[in-house]
């Protein structure tokens, strides 16, 4: 008589354990219906769902498995599975799957408890949990820019109320100091091909126009206009022209002085290098200036740069820009243009930005990420990263720390 049995093995891990048990199953010609294995801190947890052929004697199989477990000092348990329950389980394989990614400097039990409770409240079933970040030493190291922690949770089903769940995740993220991403687990999630970035306060830590304004002695006036524009309170084109006009008469050497004090955003170099090693194309779509975008292009190996051309005559800034202003809609249009040129779908595009003028391109991309963004942008973007550097984006596409190390070494 055919039987379905769940075999659960646990104990101290060492080479050969899985081979020892599957060797016995092979001897009795059992079919493997499902299998899963995890090792946490040298402790093995192995589950094997087997089907015994009609002519097999299950008691003999279980006896041999018990003997092997005793010999290896391993625990083994058996649970018979009703065929109807099995078929019910199989029928669930067509359900949608989602990936929940937790990012923080350190993952705590409080964070995980709040997230998993929200998952349960929305009727989602957790299939697996995996750590993407590297192992952490205990030697009392203070949290810093090198501290990264990431857990990836695979869940099955559709949330009861997607908007309410997203709001709950946002509340947890703000209260518990972590980022929570919720993505459909599709083929596109694992096959992004293009990443487009805003420049100021995204790839670099500063707003270049504010730095130039300081050189021109109009810092406060320009900073006020910039902040209002980033909050979405002013039309970008109007505010941009007003800010550039205040730079009239600035000497060209000021651009080089500003460039010398620009700092890359945490994780920018690691992210771009890893993306290049994976074959991604990259672009800067910026409401800033091409002079700085092209410098970053050479420094980081960016493929495309679109920004505003600051007009300079006789060694001085004229207070005007040349050509079409790169505003929010222009960024979205350029994203689609590059995707078409590269022959990829919008679902394969990642867009990263921090300001209100980035929202159109974040909405066009298959994965839009608000990076250390203003509250308005964070609330309206699909995903947000505030606790880690730009290299946290790699976790959202499933790249583990050890994968990054291998790619950077080979590159």
- Three-state SS string across 136-200, please? CCCCCCCCCCCCCEEEEEEEECCCCCHHHHHHHHHHHHHHHCCEEEEEECCCCCCCCCEEEECCE
What is the structure's pLDDT at 311?
96
Q: Which of 63, 90, 117 is the last residue of a domain?
A: 90
Q: Which residues are catalytic?
A: 198, 200
Q: Which of 74, 90, 106 is the last residue of a domain?
A: 90
- Taking 60 as the threshold, does the pLDDT of residue 140 lie above it? no
Average pLDDT over residues 381-387: 94
Percent of the chain with pLDDT over 90: 77
Q: Tokens 């801190």, residue?
A: 41
Residue-wise burial string across 77-106, b where 16 or more C-beta atoms lie within 10 A, e elsewhere: eeeebeeeebeeeeeeeeeebbbbbbbbbe
Task: Find the helix packing angle between 17-27 and 58-72, rounded to 10°.
Answer: 160
- Taking 60 as the threshold, does the pLDDT of residue 75 lie above it? yes
The whole-angstrom separation of Cα 192 and Cα 280 is 8
Q: Which two tokens stand for residue 90?
A: 């199989």
Contacts of 316 (CB under 8 A, 6+ apart): 249, 250, 251, 252
Query: Where does the pLDDT of residue 196 fall: very low under 50, low under 70, confident under 90, or very high at 90 and above?
Result: very high
What is the structure's pLDDT at 91?
78
CB-facing half-sphere around the CA of 60: CA atoms within 13 A? 11
The whole-angstrom separation of Cα 109 and Cα 153 is 15
Looking at every residue in the chain, the average pLDDT score rounds to 92
Looking at the structure, tell me whether residues 61 and 122 fall in a common domain. Answer: no
Residue-wise burial string across 157-175, b where 16 or more C-beta atoms lie within 10 A, e elsewhere: bebeeeeebbebbeebbee
- Taking 70 as the threshold, does the pLDDT of residue 318 lie above it? yes
- Taking 90 as the threshold, does the pLDDT of residue 300 lie above it? yes
Q: Nearest-5° angle of CA 220, CA 225, CA 231?
A: 125
Average pLDDT over residues 177-196: 93
- Taking 80 as the threshold, does the pLDDT of residue 411 lie above it? no
What is the structure's pLDDT at 141?
57
Looking at the structure, tell me whether residues 202 and 126 fall in a common domain. Answer: no
Q: Which two tokens stand for residue 226?
A: 């910039």
Domain count, the chain: 3
Looking at the structure, tell me whether residues 131 and 156 fall in a common domain. Answer: yes
Is residue 189 domain-resident? no
Looking at the structure, tell me whether residues 64 and 122 fall in a common domain. Answer: no
- Taking 90 as the threshold, does the pLDDT of residue 154 lie above it? yes
Query: Where does the pLDDT of residue 84 fall: very low under 50, low under 70, confident under 90, or very high at 90 and above?
Result: confident
Helix (H) or strand (E) segment spanning residue 14: none
What is the structure's pLDDT at 89?
81
Looking at the structure, tell me whether residues 38 and 124 fall in a common domain. Answer: no
DSSP three-state, residue 317: strand
What is the structure's pLDDT at 139?
63
Looking at the structure, tell me whether residues 85 and 149 fall in a common domain. Answer: no
How far, CA to CA in Å, does 380 sit from each of 114, 163, 308, 359, 377?
22, 12, 26, 8, 5
Looking at the structure, tell me whether residues 257 and 387 fall in a common domain. Answer: yes
Q: Which two tokens stand for residue 39?
A: 């090792």
Q: What is the CATH number of the domain that holds 170?
A: 3.30.70.260
DSSP three-state, residue 125: strand
Query: Where does the pLDDT of residue 235 fall: very low under 50, low under 70, confident under 90, or very high at 90 and above?
Result: confident
Average pLDDT over residues 341-362: 95
- Taking 60 as the threshold, does the pLDDT of residue 323 lie above it? yes
Looking at the structure, tell me whether residues 215 and 302 fall in a common domain. Answer: yes
Looking at the structure, tell me whether residues 351 and 242 fall in a common domain. Answer: yes
What is the structure's pLDDT at 88?
82
Looking at the structure, tell me whether residues 222 and 170 fall in a common domain. Answer: no
Who has greater pLDDT, 96 or 246? 246
Is residue 34 domain-resident? yes
Is residue 174 domain-resident? yes
Percent of the chain with pLDDT over 70: 96
What is the structure's pLDDT at 101?
97
Q: What is the CATH number of the domain that holds 238?
A: 3.40.50.1000
Looking at the structure, tell me whether residues 312 and 339 fall in a common domain. Answer: yes
Query: Where does the pLDDT of residue 173 fall: very low under 50, low under 70, confident under 90, or very high at 90 and above?
Result: very high
Q: Which of 184, 209, 236 is the last residue of a domain?
A: 184
- Taking 60 as the threshold, does the pLDDT of residue 329 lie above it? yes
pLDDT in tens, 100-135: 999 999 999 999 999 999 999 999 999 999 999 988
Choose among 5, 40, 41, 3: nearest CA to 21: 5
The whole-angstrom separation of Cα 313 and Cα 299 is 26
Distance of CA 19 to the CA centre of its chain: 35
The whole-angstrom separation of Cα 383 and Cα 352 is 10
Q: Note down the domain range covering 27.
A: 3-90
DSSP label at residue 51: E
Query: Where does the pLDDT of residue 361 fall: very low under 50, low under 70, confident under 90, or very high at 90 and above?
Result: very high
Looking at the structure, tell me whether residues 139 and 255 fall in a common domain. Answer: no
What is the structure's pLDDT at 294?
97
């Amino acid at each position: 008589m055919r039987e379905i049995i769940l075999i659960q093995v646990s104990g101290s891990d060492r080479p050969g354990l899985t081979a020892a048990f599957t060797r016995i199953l092979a001897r009795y010609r059992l079919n493997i219906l499902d299998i899963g294995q995890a090792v946490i801190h040298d402790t093995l947890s192995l589950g094997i769902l087997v089907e015994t052929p009609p002519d097999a004697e299950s008691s003999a199989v279980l006896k041999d498995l018990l003997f092997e477990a005793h010999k290896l000092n391993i625990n083994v348990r058996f649970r018979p599975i009703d065929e109807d329950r099995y078929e019910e389980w199989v029928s669930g394989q067509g359900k949608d799957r989602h990936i929940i990614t937790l990012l923080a400097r350190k993952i705590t039990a409080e964070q995980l408890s709040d997230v998993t409770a929200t998952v349960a409240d929305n009727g989602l079933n957790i299939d697996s949990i995996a750590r993407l970040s590297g192992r952490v030493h205990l030697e009392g190291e203070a949290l810093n820019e090198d501290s990264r922690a990431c857990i990836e949770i695979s869940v099955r089903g559709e949330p009861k109320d997607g908007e309410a769940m997203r709001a709950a995740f946002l509340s947890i993220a703000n209260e518990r100091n972590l980022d929570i991403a919720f993505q459909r687990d599709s083929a596109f999630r694992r096959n992004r091909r293009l990443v487009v970035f805003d420049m100021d306060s995204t790839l670099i830590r500063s707003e270049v126009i504010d730095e130039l304004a300081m050189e021109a002695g109009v810092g406060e006036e320009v900073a006020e206009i910039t902040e209002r524009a980033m909050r979405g309170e002013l039309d970008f084109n109007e505010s941009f022209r007003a800010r550039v006009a205040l730079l009239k008469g600035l000497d060209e050497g000021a651009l080089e002085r500003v460039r010398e004090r620009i700092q890359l955003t945490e994780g920018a170099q690691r992210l771009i290098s890893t993306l290049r090693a994976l074959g991604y194309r990259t672009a800067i779509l910026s409401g800033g200036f091409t002079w700085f975008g092209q410098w970053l292009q050479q420094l980081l190996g960016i493929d495309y740069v679109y920004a505003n051309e600051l007009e300079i005559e006789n060694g001085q800034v004229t207070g005007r820009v040349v050509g079409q202003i790169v505003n929010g809609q222009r960024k979205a249009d350029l994203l689609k243009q590059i995707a078409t040129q590269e022959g990829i779908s919008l679902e394969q595009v990642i867009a990263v930005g921090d300001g209100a003028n980035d929202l159109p391109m974040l909405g066009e991309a298959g994965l839009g990420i608000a990076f250390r963004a203003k509250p308005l942008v964070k609330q309206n973007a699909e995903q947000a990263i505030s606790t880690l550097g730009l290299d946290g984006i790699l976790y959202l596409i499933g790249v583990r720390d050890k994968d990054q190390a291998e790619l950077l070494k080979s590159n």
